[in-house]
Chains A and B, each alone.
Chain A
Amino acid sequence: MTNYLQLSNITKTYGHFTALDDVSLSVDKGEFVTFLGPSGSGKTTTLMIIAGFEKASGGTVEIGGQSISQLAPHERNIGIVFQNYALFPHKTAVENVYFPLQMRGVSRVQGLRQAEDMLSLVGLKGFGHRHPKELSGGQQQRVALARALVFEPSLLLLDEPLGALDKNLREQMQIEIKRIQRSLGVTTIFVTHDQSEAMSMSDRIVVFEKGAIEQAAPPLDIYHRPKTSFVAAFIGESNLIPATITSAAAKTAESPTLGAFDYASTDVLTDGQKVTLLIRPEHIKLSRNPIEDRKNVSMVVETIVNYGDNALVIGRAGDIPMRVRVLGADVVIIREGEECYINWTPDAVFVITR
């Protein structure tokens, strides 16, 4: 079944300010979709419109073919995990998880048993009697997840739920959330501004910018075939070089500073078209002398940032700042302030038309 969740032409304005501009998106049943974007890009607003806490100025939200735009939040049957978890401080963990069942008229005995089961599923067996403040951040996170899932919601929304956790715990929870989501098969929308989180967890990433969707695609597509230079710059590290297509047939382009380029993109391009060329830092090699069959450019090394197993070499080719990712062993050949060659194959060059 496709098109489980359907957003059609959603707009949201506050006075003269347009927070969302014609956002449309369809999500499959069981899909894990991440909304990624900087602050103020509209991802949280979209989430709040789906949840019903915000009213869209235009457009519709449908789940399973039924419009939910007119429903109040409590009638939508959508589970949400908030960034600060929003656990009820006056209730124990198991009472928190029981709450949605209580609201649906499930008896206390049966509801509490169901809640305990759900706590076990998220790995909190035996913690039910504790109040939220007696639980660690990761445990609170799990309770919030259990509470949002126990009533079998038609949709699960996660609003930057990992933001408050430290790095190790965050990675652990990423895996955990994925596991639980898969085992229950619940359609999930995950909001974050952390690209590595988005990359590792999602079936599909939706990149938001200035109230509109820039691109919606699987993680690797987003990384290797970004549609816009914003996406290219926002996801991962990138070298972006303005250029003009010299011959679409021969697949060549010309950069004012770096000269002629070969590229391997299969997109339809026209001669004279203004484009941006993307080269990921890990696709560039560093050498003392030019290497044959590759595009070679001379670069002055400005800074070397060592990470142990690899290093980031930052330099300048003409007036264009360049970043090169090299393996730790390779960096010994070069020092800051020296001049060297950077080079790549046509495969490494991706053409962005917007």
Chain B
Amino acid sequence: MNTFMRWAGFVVVLFIAAPLVIVVPMSFSNASSLQFPPPGYWLGYYRAYFTSVDWLIPTWNSILIATATTILTMALVVPATFALVRHKFRGKGFADLMMLMPMAVPHIVMAVGYYSYFGDLGLVHSHLGVILAHTCLSVPIAFLVLSANLKGFDRNLERAAQSLGASPAKTFLHVTLPILRPGLVISSLFAFIQSFDETVVAIFISGRDAETLPRKMFDSIRQEADPVIAVISTLLFFVVLIGIAAPYFASALRSRAPKPSRPAGAH
């Protein structure tokens, strides 16, 4: 069973890896349509991406919307998470569940809702509309990450700070916030990615004015399969690679730094 599993596992590795890496050579291809292996290589489509307003504006829109979504999400989720993790009250179980609901609803359902609702409010085809919708969709993941962090937070640290003379506000500023920072960063990052990658709702409500990168890619793939998509895919591939690999390298570097020698016994 062991050998079988291992061989099957290696085959699956290829299955997972192939589609991830194939975009890299494709992005340097000089073919005007999908062709692999590429007939020749050039950087033309990179130039096309970095000079074309049609692609740069959606990219900018996505960054803008994801940033605003992250800020709004965190502003709403951080206090709510404190309430839900730190306090016991009637209806808490229900509130916990509600935080996760946007994750349970298929995005196409929300897309229909937003398309009609934001139509009434005059929010379709606007950055604000996409930000408001994306914030809803980012709440669950931000909450999950943050609440896991907060549950692991030792409240004695806050008690210690108060006993040492820190008012509740100063305790929050000097102790709670700095210690929770990694959790806050990861939570924000997840909210950002959730918004940056979100496609379905954006297809329905972003329109031409607030067109996001995923919407532009979707339309482009559907219509003409513009080779520039390979360029964007490659760029995104490397962003993700760096994002994931960076912590590994950082920890590898740190572990190489001289460790403090541990004295034998407490002197």
A residues apposed to B, CB below 8 Å: 51-53, 72-74, 76-80, 82, 84, 86-90, 99-100, 103-104, 123, 130, 134, 136, 138-139, 142, 147-148, 151, 157, 169, 172-173
Contacts and interface: CB of A to CB of B under 8 A. Distances in A.
Contact of A73 (B157, B159, B178): B159
Interface stretch (B62-70, B82-90, B259-267): B259-267
28 contacts: A51-B159, A52-B162, A72-B168, A73-B162, A73-B163, A74-B164, A74-B166, A74-B171, A78-B163, A80-B159, A80-B160, A82-B156, A84-B154, A84-B156, A86-B156, A87-B160, A90-B178, A99-B161, A103-B166, A103-B170, A130-B260, A138-B265, A138-B266, A142-B266, A148-B164, A151-B164, A169-B265, A169-B266
Contacts of A139: 266
Contacts, number: 81
B63 to A, nearest CB: 30
Nearest to B157: A86
Interface in B137-167: 154, 156-157, 159-167
B165 A104 contact: yes
Contact of B263 (A100, A136, A147): A136
Given A76-B163, A90-B178, A136-B263, 8 more contacts: A79-B163, A80-B159, A80-B163, A82-B156, A86-B154, A103-B166, A142-B266, A169-B266
Nearest to B160: A86
B174 interface: yes
Interface string B232-267: 000000000000000000000000000010110111
A99 B162 CA distance: 11
Nearest to A73: B162
Q: Using C-beta atoms within 8 Å of the partner chain, give the interface range for chain B.
A: 20 to 34
Contacts of B165: 74, 77, 100, 103-104, 151
Contacts of B163: 51, 73-74, 76, 78-80, 148, 157
B175 interface: yes
A100 B174 CA distance: 11
B174 A99 contact: yes
A171 to B, nearest CB: 12
Contact of B262 (A51, A100, A136): A136
Given A77-B165, A82-B156, A172 B179 contact: no
Nearest to B175: A88
A76 B165 CA distance: 8
A219 B13 CA distance: 69
Contact of A103 (B159, B164, B179): B164
A48 to B, nearest CB: 9
B157 A88 contact: yes
A44 to B, nearest CB: 12
A88 B175 CA distance: 7
- Chief secondary structure at chain B's binding surface: helix
A103 B156 CA distance: 18
Nearest to B165: A103
Contacts of A74: 161-168, 170-171
Contacts of B157: 86, 88
Nearest to B263: A136
Given A86-B156, A90-B178, A99 B164 contact: yes
B185 to A, nearest CB: 14
Contacts of A100: 164-165
A100 B179 CA distance: 18
Contacts of A90: 178-179
A90 B168 CA distance: 18
B73 to A, nearest CB: 25
A134 B258 CA distance: 12
- Quick one: which of B162, B167, B179, B262 has the most chain A CB within 10 A? B162
A172 B267 CA distance: 10
Contacts of A136: 262-263, 266
A89 B179 contact: yes
Contacts of A103: 164-166, 170
A53 to B, nearest CB: 6
B14 to A, nearest CB: 41
A301 B165 CA distance: 59
Contacts of A130: 260
Nearest to B264: A136
B249 to A, nearest CB: 21
Contacts of B159: 51, 53, 73, 80, 82, 86
A93 B193 CA distance: 37
Interface in B50-84: none
A136 B265 CA distance: 8
Nearest to B170: A103
A148 to B, nearest CB: 8
A77 B164 CA distance: 7
B263 to A, nearest CB: 7
